[in-house]
């Protein structure tokens, strides 16, 4: 039974609500002591990461909300959590029973919690936020809004550390080299390219704060953040030196030797601010204001220059070695998925299988593949109503059993030394209803339309987004999350700069370029009933039409056909399905035994 749907309040929810109440009380005492009227607690760390190490899960600790995105604001009489549509249902469930109020954010680009503060607090109030946890770009926006209300902002106080008694330290996981056979480019070569960008912008220094940027630039990896093989560190590059600011305990003799061969000098992680304050005042340092914290920016003694994120932009364009590995890793990932879904079909109805059990099977079968390092995110296995929770994570104790009835949504991915995967498939475990088939077919048609798109260079993700939604919109349906995100290479599963999104989001305004890898994942969600999403990763590449781009589908796993209303597909869409499934069988079947081949052949059977 799913613990979130029973008709009494479980003990663990009561216990958590009591703990959260105590934490809020202690925080408010500190706020009063420091003269702070409202304290803002974001989801980030000093590197402005989307996913953070346990030490920086402050927003989760104070509120109990475990989603990856959200901001908490605490005043003397209000505790609010602002989060986007991916987490509306999850937020309501996890905040239930506590003092926290869910504030729904429909426009992710708008700081609605700041607007709320402007409307709620009296003129002259004092806001607090730890300066390490807010990017300079966001801090400037906050300063500007606060000035209108004569608010004072305290960026110095870390009130969470003052009340979080057993707060974890920075992880000390050892780092390792991501070998040249995978990266296709040495760290010294990447640094040289970065210096060319610095020269073009007349920069003497460049500061990198984003963990995946640093891991990519120096070809190093670690396990400091769950699912993201990054290294907690900073990097600073000059015309002649490259520095890695990192805790000494994380460096083995082998890594020190490697860094020396690439002319990278390791320095204590805690010395960066001091070093920034001693740069010659006549120098110029480039930084990305969206990923560099207010505290770091304030420490700089020379002229800081806001520049594009050079490393992110280089990293987004996968080289030929990385692309070749990605094609190979998709074959391995497909084998693991096939074994997992075959296992599910064989055992469902014969033994109890929970959503959590199946997520573990996915992990187990992936772990049997060569080069496997871990999951790229916590698998989303949403049965029936749980599938409508966009970022649902099944709990070992309380997840729901999967029966031979209804719709199952499975979104999962793997981290391999030779690439990162992310795939969603939706299957029906009984005869789908007409409404389910109608929604699924509209999602599929949008997925195909985006995959088949041919578009001129300079086209942005926002311009492409309508292709995925068009068929749903015609039926009065929609989904509130983005259609696609960039994906790293043995790095973060969510990677900038590009995205396929509606509205005015920053990522949606970035033109897609050849070499970028992006997800294609339209969906539809019927709250309380089921969720539908179909996701593949696609590679943007040059079209045979000069000046145009197109997509190559990288993901290699069958798309469920039982839920399709075939009468709604046109001949071109059927051809796309047949061609896609033919490619899957040709590339994946050589790795399979006879029973597995037969299963795959049935799933890849062409339309008549």
State pLDDT tens for residues 126-143.
999 999 999 999 999 999
The torsion region of residue 474 among left (phi > 0), alpha (psi -120 to 50) and beta comes to alpha
pLDDT of residue 6: 34
Those residues with Cβ within 8 angstroms of residue 398's Cβ, 6 or more apart along the chain or in another chain: 1, 2, 3, 4, 10
Quick check: 406 and 379 in contact, CB under 8 A?
no
How would you write 138-206 as a 3-class SS string? Answer: HHHHHHHHHHHCCCEEECCCCHHHHHCCCCCCCCCCCCEECCHHHHCCCHHHHHHHHHHHHHHCCCCEE
Tokens 């896609």, located at residue:
580
Q: What residues contact residue 137 under an 8 Å CB cut-off, 6+ apart?
A: 289, 290
Q: What is the pLDDT of residue 386?
A: 95
* Predicted pLDDT at 109: 63
CA atoms within 13 A on the CB side of 118: 13
> At 294, is the secondary structure helix, strand, or coil?
helix
- Residue 76, classified by CB atoms within 10 Å of its CB into exposed (0-12), middle (13-18) or buried (19+), is exposed
Q: Give me the residues of the chain with pLDDT under 70, please.
A: 1-15, 108-110
Enumerate the β-bridge partners of residue 235.
208, 244
CA pair distance 310, 209, nearest whole angstrom? 12
Instruction: Fill in the DSSP letter of residue 249.
Output: G
Are the C-beta atoms of residues 543 and 454 closer than 8 Å to each other? yes
346-355: list long-range contacts, CB under 8 Å, 24+ apart.
348/402, 348/403, 348/404, 348/429, 349/403, 349/404, 352/401, 353/401, 353/402, 354/394, 354/399, 354/400, 354/401, 354/402, 355/381, 355/382, 355/383, 355/386, 355/394, 355/399, 355/400, 355/401, 355/402
**Whole-number pLDDT of residue 89:** 86
- What are the two backbone dihedrals, phi and then psi, of residue 483, each rounded to the nearest 5 degrees? -90, -25
pTM reported for the whole predicted model: 0.94
| Residues in contact with 118: Cβ distance below 8 Å, sequence separation at least 6, in sequence order | 145, 148, 149
Instruction: Give me the torsion for CA of 445, 555, 527, 379, rounded to 10°.
Output: 180
Q: How many helices, marked H, and strands, marked E, lie in the chain?
A: 19, 28
The DSSP annotation for 447-473 comes to HHHHHT--EETT-BHHHHHHHHHHHHH
- Which of 549-567 are b and which e, b meaning 16 or more Cβ less than 10 Å from the residue's Cβ? bbbebbbbbbbbbebbbee
CB 25 within 8 A of CB 33: no
The burial of 50, by beta-carbon neighbours within 10 Å (0-12 exposed, 13-18 middle, 19 or more buried), is given as: middle
Alpha-carbon span 73 to 66, nearest angstrom: 16
Are 439 and 518 contacting, i.e. CB atoms less than 8 angstroms apart? no
Give the model's pLDDT for residue 264: 98
State how far the alpha carbon of 523 is from the alpha carbons of 39, 173, 519, in Å: 36, 37, 12
Q: What is the pLDDT of residue 106?
A: 82
């Amino acid at each position: 039974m799913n613990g979130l749907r029973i008709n009494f309040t479980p003990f663990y929810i009561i216990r958590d609500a009591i703990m959260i109440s105590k934490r809020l009380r202690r925080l408010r005492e500190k706020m009063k002591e420091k003269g702070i009227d409202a304290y803002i607690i974001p989801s980030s760390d000093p590197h402005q990461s989307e996913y953070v190490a346990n030490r920086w899960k402050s927003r989760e600790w104070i509120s109990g909300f475990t989603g990856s995105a959200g901001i908490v604001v605490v005043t003397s009489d209000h505790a609010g959590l602002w989060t986007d549509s991916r987490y509306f249902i999850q937020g309501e469930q996890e905040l239930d029973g506590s003092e926290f109020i869910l504030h729904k954010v429909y426009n992710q680009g708008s700081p609605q919690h700041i607007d709320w503060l402007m409307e709620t607090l009296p003129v002259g109030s004092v806001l607090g936020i730890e300066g390490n946890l807010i990017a300079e770009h966001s801090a400037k926006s906050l300063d500007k809004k606060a000035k209108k209300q004569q608010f004072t902002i305290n960026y110095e106080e870390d009130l969470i550390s003052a009340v979080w008694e057993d707060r974890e330290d920075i992880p000390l996981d050892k780092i390792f080299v991501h070998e040249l056979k995978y990266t296709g480019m040495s760290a010294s070569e990447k640094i040289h390219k970065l210096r060319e960008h610095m020269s073009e912008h007349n920069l003497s220094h460049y500061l990198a704060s984003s963990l995946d940027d640093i891991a990519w630039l120096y070809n190093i990896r670690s396990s400091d953040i769950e699912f993201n093989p990054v290294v907690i560190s900073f990097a600073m590059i000059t015309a002649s030196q490259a520095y890695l600011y990192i805790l000494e305990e994380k460096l083995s003799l082998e890594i020190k030797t490697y860094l020396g061969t690439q002319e990278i000098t390791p320095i204590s992680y805690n010395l960066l601010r001091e070093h920034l304050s001693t740069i010659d005042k006549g120098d110029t340092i480039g930084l990305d204001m969206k990923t560099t914290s207010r505290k770091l920016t304030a420490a700089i003694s020379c002229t800081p220059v806001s520049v594009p994120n050079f490393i992110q932009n280089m990293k987004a364009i996968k080289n030929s070695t990385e692309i070749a590995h990605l094609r190979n890793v998709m074959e391995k990932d497909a084998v693991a998925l096939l074994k997992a879904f075959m296992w599910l079909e064989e055992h469902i109805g014969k033994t109890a299988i929970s959503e959590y059990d199946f997520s573990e099977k996915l992990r187990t079968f992936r772990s049997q593949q060569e080069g496997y390092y871990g999951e790229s995110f916590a698998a989303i296995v949403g049965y029936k109503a749980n599938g409508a929770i966009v970022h649902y994570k099944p709990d070992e104790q309380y997840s729901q059993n999967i029966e031979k009835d209804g719709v199952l949504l499975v979104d999962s991915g793997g981290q391999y030394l030779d690439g990162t995967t992310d795939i969603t498939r939706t299957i029906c475990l009984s005869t789908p209803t007409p409404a389910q088939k109608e929604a699924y077919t509209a999602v599929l048609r949008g997925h195909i339309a985006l995959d088949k798109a041919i578009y001129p260079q300079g086209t942005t993700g926002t311009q492409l987004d309508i292709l995925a939604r068009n068929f749903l919109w015609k039926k009065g349906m929609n989904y509130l999350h983005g259609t696609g995100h960039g994906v790293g290479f043995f790095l973060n599963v969510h990677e900038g700069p590009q995205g396929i999104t509606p509205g005015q989001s920053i990522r949606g305004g970035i033109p897609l370029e050849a070499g970028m890898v992006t997800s294609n994942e339209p969906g539809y969600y019927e709250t309380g009933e089921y969720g539908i999403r179909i996701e593949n990763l696609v590679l943007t590449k040059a079209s045979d039409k000069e000046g145009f781009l197109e997509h190559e589908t990288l993901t290699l796993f069958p798309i469920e056909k039982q839920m399709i209303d075939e009468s709604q597909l046109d001949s071109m869409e059927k051809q796309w399905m047949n061609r896609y499934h033919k490619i899957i069988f040709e590339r994946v079947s050589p790795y399979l035994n006879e029973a597995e081949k037969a299963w795959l052949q049935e799933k890849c059977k062409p339309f008549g």
